[in-house]
Amino acid sequence: MTGSQAGSGDRRPELARLVRPYGDTTGDGRVQVSFTLPIPFGAATERSRAEGAALQLAGKMGLDPAMVVHAKGMGPDYTFFVVYGRVAHLVDLSQVTVVEREFPLLSPAEVNLRIRAGLGRKLVVVGACIGTDAHTVGIDAILNVKGHAGEKGLEYYREIRVINLGSQVAVPDLVARANAERADAVLISQVVTQRDAHLSNTRQMAAAFDEAAGPTGHRPLLVVGGPRFDPAMAAGLGVDKIFGKGTTPGEVASYLAAVLAPAAETAGAAS
């Protein structure tokens, strides 16, 4: 370490507020796009019309001038294009907004590392669908090794021990099992929303864990997921976190690691 990375040693010019895409010259604005249009690319007239159509779309996308460098018919009805062009648009960096997540998104290896360092043992997760809900698709996508959306489920994480109780688990059974396993977190999936069953089930579960915790107030982290939950409702339902539609296993694992195995020294310094 020479210290040359300190601010004073950074000789890069300050970032301009307004930038354009870079092809091979500053400010040339050149980009490449590819797309398909549902039009034929057969006879010569069709080909000319197809290229014209692609140029029109490129123009509307802000590419001017644009050049169709590749066009190919795919079957009788579709044409694929590769287009290069210069975009007129400017990027205003002062207007870029970054969605703040309250926890950093980590890779499985990073999650494992964080748990080893912050917890010093395996993190125990108990998962279930409670009440009469038999829709385990959500909880399984998060927990099964198979995972979801190209991400492996929590079972894949070496430092997480998963106990998946499956569907239609009674709340008292869930509480008992979570205590027996000394669960760090309990994951609940609720899909059925008839007569707001997902809300009443969740409240009932939270109350049961609070009651079991007794005067110490120590209970596992309660995490709920389902397509019809509003993530802002967590406190009102008595749980710690709600995940909505489209949540991936990596997000859940990152959240668990951030809350249950916080990196003491670097907390806040990252992101």
Contacts to other proteins by CB under 8 A: 34-36, 72, 74-75, 78, 80, 136-137, 140-141, 144-146, 148, 150, 152, 155-156, 158, 164, 166
| Separation CA 222–CA 216 (nearest Å) | 16
β-strand partners of 161: 124
With CA atoms as reference, report the closest residue to 170 among 204, 193, 210.
204
Q: Is 146 a catalytic residue?
A: yes
Of 60, 72, 146, 152, the active-site residue reads 146
Minimal distance, residue 148 CB to other proteins, in Å: 7
Minimal distance, residue 162 CB to other proteins, in Å: 9
Minimal distance, residue 135 CB to other proteins, in Å: 8
Amino acid identity of residue 34, one-letter, is S
Minimal distance, residue 12 CB to other proteins, in Å: 25
Residue (27 or 166) nearer to other proteins, CB: 166
Residue (49 or 161) nearer to other proteins, CB: 161
Q: Which amino acids are annotated catalytic? A: 146
